[in-house]
Amino acid sequence: MAKMNAKAAARLKRIKRIRKKISGTAVRPRLRVFKSAKHIYAQLIDDESATTIAAMSTLNEEIRAAGIKGKMAQARKVGEVLAERAKSKGLSRAVFDRGGYIYHGRVREVAEGARAGGLEF
């Protein structure tokens, strides 16, 4: 079995620490962010029923068709489109889960895009 590097292990510890404090409900889902080197993913999760309410990523056709250049601008658009999807399902509030990352850069852009789209944290 391969060992996990120190950065990944520290991130998992942060994720566990954050998840002890927050959880999503049907009325106020958890907005979870994951980022890779090329893409960013965001989803609204209802932890009580263990279901994903809405999801969005830079791999989605809406983002690719927009032709947005730059990871920061794409991350903001992901947040905005996810907020629109949440609004269409009757949701206006969410709990932000930064996924163990610092609230900076692309993670912050997703949050600000979601706020611009009408979600409240």
Q: Coil, helix or strand for 31?
A: strand
Q: Coil, helix or strand for 57?
A: strand
Cα→Cα distances 94→2, 4, 5, 10, Å: 36, 32, 32, 26
Tens of pLDDT along 27-81? 999 999 999 999 999 999 999 999 999 999 999 998 999 899 999 999 999 999 9
> Could you tell me how many residues make up the chain?
121
CATH placement of domain 6-117? 3.30.420.100
pTM: 0.90
In the block, residue with structure tokens 């994951």: 34
